[in-house]
Structures are given as structure tokens and as C-alpha cells.
Amino acid sequence: MQTHNNGETMRKVLRHIRKYWFYFILSLLFAAVTVTLTLYLPILIGEAVDLILAPGQVDFEGIWSLLLIMGVMIGGTALSQWIMNVCNNKITYNTIQDIREEAFRKIENLPLKYIDSHSYGEVVSRVIADVDQFADGLLMGFTQFFTGVLTIVGTLIFMLTMNVGITLVVVVITPVSLFVASFIAKKTYTMFQLQSSTRGEQTGLIDEMIGNQKVVAAFGYQEKAQKRFDEVNERLRQCSLRAIFFSSITNPATRFVNSLVYAGVGVAGALSAVAGGISVGQLTSFLSYANQYTKPFNEISGVVTELQNALACAARIFELIEEEPQTPEPPDVVELTDLDGSVALEHVYFSYAPEQKLIEDFNLEVKPGSRIAIVGPTGCGKTTVINLLMRFYDVNQGCIRVSGTDIRKMTRHSLRAGYGMVLQETWLKSGTIRENIIMGKPDATEEEIVAAAKASHAHSFIKRLPQGYDTIITEEGGGLSQGQKQLLCITRVMLCLPPMLILDEATSSIDTRTEIKIQEAFARLMEGRTSFIVAHRLSTIREADVILVMRDGKIIEQGDHETLLQKNGFYAQLYNSQFSA
């Protein structure tokens, strides 16, 4: 099964290399030139030896002419080898660039459930570390594999032209080396595959711990994090040692076989020279060819080992690239630009995992301009409803309609452009304050940007920054408080003025005084706009037109604030629990 997977991965690699066929052919051509020149050198050396007959009987003129030819050949070998390496580098790094771009495009097109179910570090490890490992193996393969094979074939041809008997000695012992390399290669693939996946697990853990360092420190999780890391690190050590152990056997094993080849050539050649079958110079050439012939087996065995690691990494990359993308948009999809804000959820069923029921037979009718508050205990499905409205996930059954159109029949872009979202978790990108504000409206004028910032009460703190609206921030919003980051996200929505709003604890990180002002701004913003408000502090949703009380994925109560209090049901319990003091 592993061999099949290995072969399948190799075919995928070759498909990516195919577009660089010109460099491939050029590499093979100069590899052949390099090998031919390298293999012709021992013949010249043998001829030079034969020109040294005895003390005082040396043909210096013939030797000098041979040395001149050797110098030219060595220079030609170096040049052709350099060109071959340039071609190999082109093939390798262009292929790697293509694979990384393909992987990144796939990440951008993956359904949210894949990102939710895989750690960020593990995904990053595939795109960065695994691709690097693959590049090393691929480069070594191109650089040494072709020259190695050509050297073996070329050496046999040159030896056959000199003496068939001695060549047969070499050919008889050779299969032992091939058998050893093949046996070890099968063992190393499994080990390198395990090493690669464990490395991804370790990267994911490190990314998680560093990215949430404050949480780790706040909950005193350092010791447990250290234990988790030590356990993964120990597993990585063990599988790496096993992988390196098996791969390190290859070289000494093939060297042993190569020594047998060299000894066999030496004995057979010496007997033939004594019998007058070959000259001393030819014996010198044969011994040189024995070294030339066995050397590629060492290189190829090293390449095979490295290639096993590379293919194991490549398999993980292609696994990512071949992940099922998000549901493609149908041919008859429409681009809606004039949404009226009406939303309807009709008999909606949804669960993240088939065995865990979440939302069942969810029905909701929202009129344009309504303010809908969604409340309930943690895990009841509030955020899931938001995910479904934005079509981050598709419903399992039923349908969601916006402006009377099934959201699966409209483009994702036009659907999401109709919503303005402010979540508890802030979304910022590396760039200036201005670039972060205009994400949803790139063509906004300076006046519109400032007006939106003033409406969200962000203008005052932005003007106090070193470069004002041109101040550069990072994705983490370095230098800004959580409340200031939240105000920037609110400003972004104030600028776009979409027909529908989603506010998920939008003022949770803002001080009470500013929150009152923001609530006033939101009240103005929500006028005439359909608004979905997810709140844990029930005091913020008293003015909602309809309050949906959710529990276990179902709406158990529905009505305005006063009506629900009078019912003295679950909502009243939640509300009174917050104000019991």
C-alpha cells in the first residue's frame, strides 16, 4: 500500500515538473556531457601511465599533450556541471513555488470546517517545513540521480570496450548493492512519514502556545504546556532516530558492496595484466572505473533515502492541495447588489459532526429593518446561526433566504457584502489604520473615513497616534488596546453602511462611558437596517424588536423584552440571574 502511495506521489511530482521540460532536457544533456568527459579521463590517465615505460624511458612530449587535453576536459566538465546545477535549481525552485502557490490558493478556498478542525501550526508546517524538506530531496535527486545512473551506464560501456571478462565481475556483484538500497528504502519511507506528521504536530503546539501566551500565563498552564511539548518532542526524537538509523545503514552497506567490486576488479585485472591480456595503464583505468562505477551507488542510495523523506513530505502537501474545496457556486448563481434586508430560515438543520445534533428544524422570519437579538447559554447555537447566515457553513437541510433568494443561489461575495460584522474577536491586518478601516470600501474618501471614525468615537484616539490615520499596525494591533481595536472594527462597518448588521458582543472590550456612546451610534446605524445582535449582557438588547431565546439549537422562546419577562420563562431566569444583586 505504501509503495502504491509512494508511486502515486511521485506521479504527482512529475506532473508538476512537466511544465519545465526544457530545463529537464537541458539538465539531462549536460549531465551526459559531464559524465562522458569524466569517464573519458581515466582512459587518458591509462595512456599516460603506459607512456612511462621505465626510468629514463618517459615520453614527456606525449604526456604533456595528454595533460593539456585533460585540463581542457576538466574545465569542460566543471562548466557543464555548473550549467546542469543551474537547470536543476530552476526546476526545483520553480516547482516548489508552484506547489506553495497552489497550496495557498487551496487554503484560501478551503471550507471553514477544515480550518476549524486543523491547528494553524500544522497547516503552516505543511506549507513551509514540508515543502522545504521536499525541495531538498528533489534538488538532490536531480543533481545526483541522473549523473549517477548515467555514470553507471557509461562506465559499463567504457569497461566493456576494454575487457569483457573483468566487466562481468563488476556486473555480477552489482545486484547485491541494488538489493540492499531497495530493502532499506522501503523501511525509511514509513519512518520519514511519521517524522513529518509528528513535526507538524509539534509546530502546531508551539504556534498555539506562543499565540496564546497571555492565556497560558493567566491560567498557570506553563507546566502542562511543557509536559505536552516534552511528550511530542520525545516522540519526534524517537521517530527521527529510527528514520536516521535506517537511512544511515544505506551508505555503509553499499560501500561494503562497492569495496567487493573494487577488490574483484583489482584481482581479475592483475591476473589479466600478468597474462598479457591488458596493459598496466589499462589496469589503472579499470581500477579508476571501479571507483567511478561504485561511487554513484553510494550517491544514489543517499538520494533514495532523501527521496523517501521528500516523498513523505510531498504526500502531506498534496493531501492539503487535494482537500475538498468549499462547495462551488452553481452556474445559475446570481450577484445581488440591492438587498432589502429580509431574512428567512426555513426548516434549517445543521450540525458540525453528524453524531452530534445541534440545530434542528430552525424557523425564523425577519422583516427588513428588524432588530433581532439572539440569547442563550454557551453552546446553544448562537454563533452557529451567524456562521450559517454568512454561509461560512452550509445547512444540512432546509434553506436560508435573503431578499427572497436562497443564499446558495447567490454569490458568496454579494451575500457577505450585504452584512457588516463586528465580533468580540477583532479582525485587523498588517498595514495602516486607514487601510484597516477601508477594507470593505476601498474607494472611500478621506471625509467619509473621518466621518465614520467620529461616528464610532475612534477619531480622537487615532489623531493621538504618531502618524494618525497613517500609523502602521500589525495583525495583533500592536500598541492598541483591545477596546481601540474594537473601535476600528466598528468604524469599518460605519463606513460601509451595509443593509444588514451582525453584532456579536461588539462592545465587550469597551469602557462603560464609550459603550454608551457606541450604543447611541449603533442605534443610529441600525435604523432601517436588519440587525442580528448576539449578546450575553441582556441589558444591551432591551430595545430589540424580537428576542430569540435559544437552547440546544432550538428557539424555545420568542418575543420582545417585556413580553418575555412577563412569561417568566427561561429568558426571565437568564435576565434575573444577571441583575439578582
In tens, the pLDDT along 565-574 reads 888 888 888 7
Whether the per-residue pLDDT at 79 is higher than 90: the answer is yes
- In percent, the amount of the chain with pLDDT more than 90 equals 1
Q: Does the domain formed by 343-579 have CATH 3.40.50.410?
A: no
pLDDT at 327: 76
SS3 state of residue 305: helix
Residue spans per domain, the chain: 2-321, 343-579
Task: Say whether 343-579 and 2-321 share the same fold.
Answer: no
**Higher per-residue pLDDT: 341 or 305:** 341
At 3, the pLDDT band (50, 70, 90 cuts) reads very low
User: What pLDDT is recorded for position 182?
Assistant: 67
Query: What are 8-45's pLDDT values in tens digits?
Result: 888 888 888 888 888 888 888 888 888 888 877 877 77
Residue 458: the pLDDT is 86
Is residue 238 predicted with pLDDT exceeding 90? Answer: no
Task: Return the closest-CA partner of residue 196 out of 318, 324, 53, 16.
Answer: 318
Of 91-95, 474-478, 543-547, least confident by mean pLDDT is 474-478
- Mean of pLDDT values over 535-546: 73
Classify strands 57-58 and 52-54 as parallel, antiparallel or unpaired.
antiparallel
Question: Cα–Cα distance between 201 and 131 in angstroms, integer?
Answer: 16
For the cut 70, the answer to whether the pLDDT of residue 82 exceeds it is yes
CA atoms in the 13 A half-sphere facing the CB of 187: 16
Q: What average pLDDT does the chain have? A: 80
- pLDDT tens across 125-140, in order? 888 888 888 887 777 7
DSSP structure string for 79-132: HHHHHHHHHHHHHHHHHHHHHHHHHHHHHHHS-HHHHHHS-HHHHHHIIIIIHH
pLDDT in the model for residue 581: 47
Q: Which CATH class is domain 2-321?
A: mainly alpha
Q: What confidence tens digit (pLDDT) does each residue in 360-397 have?
A: 888 888 888 888 888 877 767 777 888 888 888 888 88
Region 308-322 average pLDDT: 82
CA atoms within 13 A on the CB side of 22: 2
Helix H or strand E segment including 27? helix 21-50
Q: What is the pLDDT of residue 539?
A: 63
Contacts made by residues 569-575, CB under 8 angstroms, sequence distance 24+: 571/375, 571/547, 574/375, 574/376, 574/377, 574/538, 574/549, 575/538
**pLDDT for 1 beyond 50:** no
Q: How would residue 477 be classed by pLDDT, with cut points 50, 70 and 90?
A: low
pLDDT band (50, 70, 90) for residue 302: low
